[in-house]
Amino acid sequence: MADSNTHGELEKGSSLWADAFQRLRKNRAALISGAILILIALTALLYEVVSQYGTGFMMEEQHTWVVPKPPGARSVPSHFYELSQAGLLSWENTDSNKDGFVEPREIVDAYRSLEFSNLDLDKSGALSYDEYVDAPLSRVSPNKFIPDCARWAMIKRSMAPIEDPTVFACDAGADNLMQPKETGKLVELVSSGEAQEMINRVDKDSDGLISKAEYVGLPMPRTHILGSDKLGRDLLTRTVYGARISLAVGLLATLVSFMIGVTWGATAGFLGGKVDNIMMRLVDILYGLPFMFLVILLMVVFGQKIYLLFLALGAIQWLTMARIVRGQVISLKNQEFVEAAETIGVSNSGIIFKHLIPNALGPIIVYATLTVPAVMLEEAFLSFLGLGVQAPQTSWGALISEGRQLMETSPWLIIWPSVALAATLLSLNFLGDGLRDALDPQLRKD
């Protein structure tokens, strides 16, 4: 008997999905897009970790000493995590009155001195003009800042309107340095109200003061990497949380459209005849309706609830899915495996869900991938109109809507959520194109 290796080893076959994966691996744009989407999804899922150990701020926390702060400015987290790390500021530096108690004003002064030292790059004990203008201007309360000389008037062009223009009057005897005693007009990391909140967290005897026994340290100022909004909320923290909502809306609404569209299209395509005609004419009628207006009407009538947003957006996306699935099922229903299933008595529902739909998954997956960015864009549009995600929750669309109100004076508020949304939509489209080429290589443009 001839050895099986006489004519060489038989080549091992591979499945449709294995071949598709090999083709997808060769598509660099799709792979990079997939990696970006995985990174964004993981960051959104780990929002609590990012908030606690990354940004240091929580999504909803506000600061009462408020102007929109640009990227690089600092604030002290009001919901701080660093209380267990005692000794950021020593007790001696905090208890400036040396009376054995710390009151809100002393906390304000302690942070003021800390930030002054942070800005005093040459450690001269005074801020020069160059040192000051290098710091984010929103660390200043514009209507309380009093410059020493007209040279400081250059800052006026970069600041919000000032109520009293006479504060720019020049003092001929000034030496163009801002001394530590004047930092009350220069730097406020916390307000007296925020300082009182810090005291309340550790004030065991409820006397409104911190004794030395109660003192556990003060939280470290944290940097707003992407800036903060008009309520003092950290933009990076809110953008990460917004990713969770935007992706959830896109994925869940796509799942709703997937369930409705696949079931409707597969049933119409397999049964054919009058049933198919009636079902698809209904699809044609629904196509003629202004669905975005219907979604807006649903949100107005039934309330702006997030689960209703999932259902409403999913319910307007299933029509094209139904047409795609119907076409695939019609091309498959006369295949031998369907005839074999009918011969052994498999029910119509069994043939549809166990045989036809699994064999039509390639185009379905591709279209579902391309549906996600469409749904996210619709959610952003609704949130932009104020009909989408409602406070205290937020999404990228809601952040963009908030940012447009201050886009001239605080452009970072609209730039970064827009960049995040655009990057996600582009990645989803590139990934969808890559899946289409991988699952249906005849459509590739080689």
Lowest mean pLDDT among 35-39, 86-90, 171-175, 268-272: 171-175
Residue 97 and residue 40 in one domain: no
Which band of pLDDT confidence, cut at 50, 70 and 90, is reported for residue 32?
very high
Instruction: Give the pLDDT mean for 27-41.
Output: 91
Q: Which domain holds residue 269?
A: 20-25+33-44+234-443
> What type of residue is 321?
M
Together in a domain, 194 and 341: no
Q: Name the residue with higher pLDDT: 428 or 66.
A: 428
Q: Are strands 101-102 and 210-211 parallel, antiparallel or unpaired?
A: antiparallel
Q: What percent of the chain has pLDDT over 90?
A: 16
In a domain, 398, yes or no: yes
pLDDT of residue 66: 62
pLDDT tens profile 357-387: 888 887 888 888 888 888 888 888 888 777 7
Q: Are residues 197 and 296 in the same domain?
A: no
Q: Is residue 212 part of a domain?
A: yes
Q: Please report the pLDDT score of residue 423 as a whole number.
A: 93
Question: Do 286 and 413 belong to one domain?
Answer: yes
> In Å, how far from its chain's centre is CA 359?
36
**Has residue 296 got a pLDDT over 90?**
no
- In tens, the pLDDT along 406-420 reads 888 788 899 999 999
* Whether pLDDT at 76 is above 70: yes
The residue whose two tokens read 């997030």 is 306
Which residue, 223, 257, 273, sits at the end of a domain? 223
Residue 54 has pLDDT above 90, yes or no: no
Considering its fold, how many domains does the chain have in total? 2
Which position has the higher pLDDT, 147 or 400?
A: 400
Element (H, E) at 102: strand 101-102
Distance CA 86, CA 94 (A): 13
90 phi-psi bin (left φ>0, alpha ψ -120 to 50, beta other):
beta
The answer on pLDDT for 310 being more than 80 is: no
Based on the fold, state whether residues 313 and 207 are members of the same structural domain.
no
Is the separation of the CB atoms in 365 and 437 below 8 Å? Answer: no
More confidently predicted of 36 and 97:
36
- Of 92-106, 176-190, 257-271, 387-401, least confident by mean pLDDT is 176-190
Per residue in 109-161, pLDDT (tens digit) is 888 777 777 777 777 776 665 565 444 433 333 333 333 333 344 444 344 33
Which residue among 223, 248, 276 closes a domain? 223
Say yes or no: 100 and 173 in one domain.
Answer: yes
Give the burial class of 313: count Cβ atoms within 10 A of its Cβ; 0-12 exposed, 13-18 middle, 19 or more buried: buried
Residue finishing a domain among 223, 257, 276: 223
**Nearest to residue 187, comparing CAs of 114, 270, 121, 244?**
114
Q: Determine the pLDDT at residue 148.
A: 34
Whether residue 217 is found in the same domain as residue 281: no
Q: Which residues lie below 8 Å from residue 103, measured CB to CB, with a gap of 6+?
A: 97, 199, 208, 209
Helical axes 291-302 vs 306-315, angle rounded to 10°: 160
H/E element holding 99? Answer: none
Query: Are 223 and 234 contacting, i.e. CB atoms less than 8 angstroms apart?
Result: no
- List C-alpha distances in Å: 25 to 152, 214, 328, 372: 58, 59, 26, 22
Residue with the bigger pLDDT between 37 and 63: it is: 37
Instruction: Say whether 427 sits in a helix, a strand or coil.
Output: helix
- Please report whether residue 55 resides in a domain: no
- Mean pLDDT is lowest, of 216-230, 379-393, 399-413, for 379-393
- Tell me what pLDDT residue 38 has: 94
For residue 392, whether the previous peptide bond is cis, meaning omega lies within 30 degrees of 0, is yes
- Give yes or no: residues 327 and 430 share one domain: yes
- Residue 386 belongs to a domain: yes
What is the 3-class SS of 271-322, one letter each residue?
HCHHHHHHHHHHHHHHHCCCHHHHHHHHHHHHCCCHHHHHHHHHHCCHHHHH
On whether residue 301 sits in a domain, the answer given is: yes
Place of tokens 């959610």: 379
pLDDT at 69 over 90: no
Instruction: Provide mean pLDDT across the span 296-318.
Output: 76
**What is the structure's pLDDT at 132?**
56
Residue 265, pLDDT score:
93
Do residue 250 and residue 329 come from a single domain? yes
| 10 in a structural domain | no
pLDDT beyond 60 at 81? no
346 Ramachandran zone, left/alpha/beta (phi>0; psi -120 to 50): beta
User: Where residue 254 sits, what CATH number does that domain have?
Assistant: 1.10.3720.10
| 196 occurs within a structural domain | yes
Instruction: Please indicate, yes or no, whether residues 397 and 300 belong to a single structural domain of this protein.
Output: yes
What is the pLDDT, as a whole number, of residue 418? 93
Are 178 and 302 found together in one domain?
no
364 plus 273 within the same structural domain: yes
pLDDT tops 80 at residue 231: yes
Mean pLDDT of the chain: 77
Residue 383: which of 299, 263, 298 has the closest Cα? 299
In a domain, residue 51? The reply is no
